[in-house]
A and B are shown apart, each in its own frame.
Chain A
Amino acid sequence: MTDATAGMPDDITGATLTSAAFSPAKGFSRGGYDAQEVDRFLRLGAAAVDRLNGRLVAAEQRLREAGAQIQELRDRIERDSRTNEVQHAISVLTTAQITADSTVAQADEYSARVMTEARDLYDDARRDAAVLQQETEDKSRAVYEDALQRVADVERENQQRLAQLTLAAVSAQNELDEQTTYLRTLRDAASIQMQKFLEGMLDHVAEEYGRAHPMAAGAAGAARVPAAGRSVAATPGRTQARRSRRNQRLPRRPGTPSAPTPKRRTPGIDDVAAVSLGPDSQVSTQVSEARTQNDPGD
């Protein structure tokens, strides 16, 4: 039983309130409890309940805080363990990827190096080839131009020589022509002289023979004229043969100014001709005829 006149204990319970004992009411009223006592008990009870409620709120707060702390710790533990696993896995994957990348990169690098070297070689070869080609072209152009120049020089020289030779040839031809003309004249003159000489000889022989045999001399005189005609008709072959022999005997360079004079070469014939021939005009006429017959345009 709780003595309501005593103080309210801190460990107030339901029984504290239900077992409270109050003094009987004093004065004229009958029954009931002392009102002052009841009021005082209620005040004390209310204060005790408030105190208890305060403690309860504080405890609940502490509990919540503790719960939160526990949760946080749990989360942290869980997160840490998960994060570690994840980090570990990420690390493994990363390493594997780096290894793969490095392997591929090495292969690519090798390929790049090979290609670069090939390209450098190619470039060098191309440049060398271009230089060589250019040099060759320059050289061949130089050779070609040199050859052209030489050809031009040779041609010019040739033309000069040709001009000189042409001049020399013309002069030689002229001299040759002159000599030919002289020799023809000489030949024809010699031929006529020889004929006259022989005729003279024949007349002389006939004359001498006639003195010995007058009959035979008459027959010989009749045969003399046709014989002279035959000698003229037979002239071409003999004339050429004579000319050929004379040329062989008297070789002469064309254009030689100091050619031996005909007199010196054929003194016997000339002497005979000078003895037997008549006036010059007669000889000239006969030479002109002989030339016309024997050398038509020689």
Chain B
Amino acid sequence: MADIDTAALKDNFAVVAGHGPDEVALYFYSYLFLRYPQTREMFPPAMTKQRDRLVAALLRIVSNVDKVDQLVPYLEDLGRDHRKFGTVTAHYPAVGEALLTTLRHFSGSAWTDRLAADWAAAYGVVAGAMSGAAEKVAVTQPAYWEAEITEVDRRTFDIAVLTVRTDEPVPYLAGQSVSVEPTTARPREWRWFTPANAPGGLEIELHARLIPGGSVSTALVRSSKPGDTLHLGPPFGRMTLEPGSRRPLLMVAGSTGLAPMKAMIQQVARDGGRRTALYFGARTGREVYDRKALTALSDWHGWLTVVTAVSDDIRWSGPHGLVGEVAADAGEWSDHDVYVCGSPAMVGATVKRLLADGVPQTQIRFEEFGEA
């Protein structure tokens, strides 16, 4: 984007966003659906979350518009992921037109030909990266995988462990997530879930925790049943085992943040085993929903230590407290590869504490779950 005035784009976007991010996104989608009505069916009836996503993506793109090396991998992932919505290369000009019209609309008198040209050029780069990556992967990969639920194990009233089966293996890496669309209960709504087993097989274990008001999580936990169909989107996320690293591992998981850790532990076992400490945290003893598997894992693998900490249960006989603090108090982790997954609050507090304890930032990888 050498000949694009990126500073001007950032300034202009700030002006536009000043009208209210949701207002801008509403205008964008309304224009898109008005001019290209066929695109409407690619989106769910309720668009609130979709608008949040658009604004977040735009913000990320605009913030990094002058850092192409960081932006391009993100855009390529985004492009590959958009295939599951039915997005094809032909849709990109329509979106570009809607975007430029929206920017012009909210820029008012600040809109200039130069800005229009710069935005058009920048969008060309974005669309090129996205559609290029999508076209490239389309040769070898479907837009999504169809999966049938084979087992629903409701472990607590708000946590379920689902086993699903695909016709061909989904090419994720241990620790990565896939987006899930409950095709009957919540069509066209996708949320991230992390496989709890290492890749390669046809079965995938998903851990779903019900988020109050969360449509997809509610559907999966409360109303899914064997035989239901899910769509699984392409894998996403960079919380994976670092290739070639022989450092010991510290894994800190809160609630269903356990899923990626289980997958990575399986992967470590396949790779020959490595000293690993898994700290699992839950609020109550009942919410230690995968106790049997945790016991089995630590029994099978001599190199694995499992500690379960509970924060709000007077009846719990093991360690009490927030799992991040229990883990940090328990040892010296600065020579470990550290993985953290859980609620945003849990991840934030744990990462902060570990950094303060001297764990290098480059050795910490984390993923937040929540609204997904």
Contacts and interface: CB of A to CB of B under 8 A. Distances in A.
Interface in B182-223: 210, 212-215, 218
A115 B213 contact: yes
B315 A130 contact: yes
A5 interface: no
B29 to A, nearest CB: 7
B58 interface: no
A215 B188 CA distance: 150
B298 interface: no
Interface string A77-111: 00000000010011101100110110011001101
A93 B47 contact: no
Contacts of B215: 108
Interface string B250-289: 0000000000000000000000000000000000101000
B213 A97 contact: no
Contacts of A119: 158, 212
Given A86-B34, A101-B48, A105-B48, A94 B26 contact: yes
Given A109-B213, A112-B212, A126-B286, A94 B30 contact: yes
Interface residues of B, number: 25
Contact of A133 (B27, B213, B284, B315): B315
Contacts, number: 62
B27 A94 contact: yes
Given A130-B315, A134-B315, A90 B31 contact: yes
B33 A93 contact: yes
A115 B218 contact: yes
Given A94-B30, A122-B157, A101 B47 contact: yes
A201 interface: no
A100 B45 CA distance: 7
6 contacts: A90-B30, A90-B31, A100-B46, A108-B213, A111-B218, A112-B214
Interface of A: 86, 89-91, 93-94, 97-98, 100-101, 104-105, 108-109, 111-113, 115-116, 118-119, 122, 126-127, 130-131, 133-134
Interface of B: 26-27, 29-31, 33-34, 45-48, 157-158, 210, 212-215, 218, 284, 286, 312-315
Instruction: Rank and list the top 4 A-B pairs by shortest CB-CB distance, nearest first.
Output: A112-B213, A104-B46, A112-B212, A115-B212
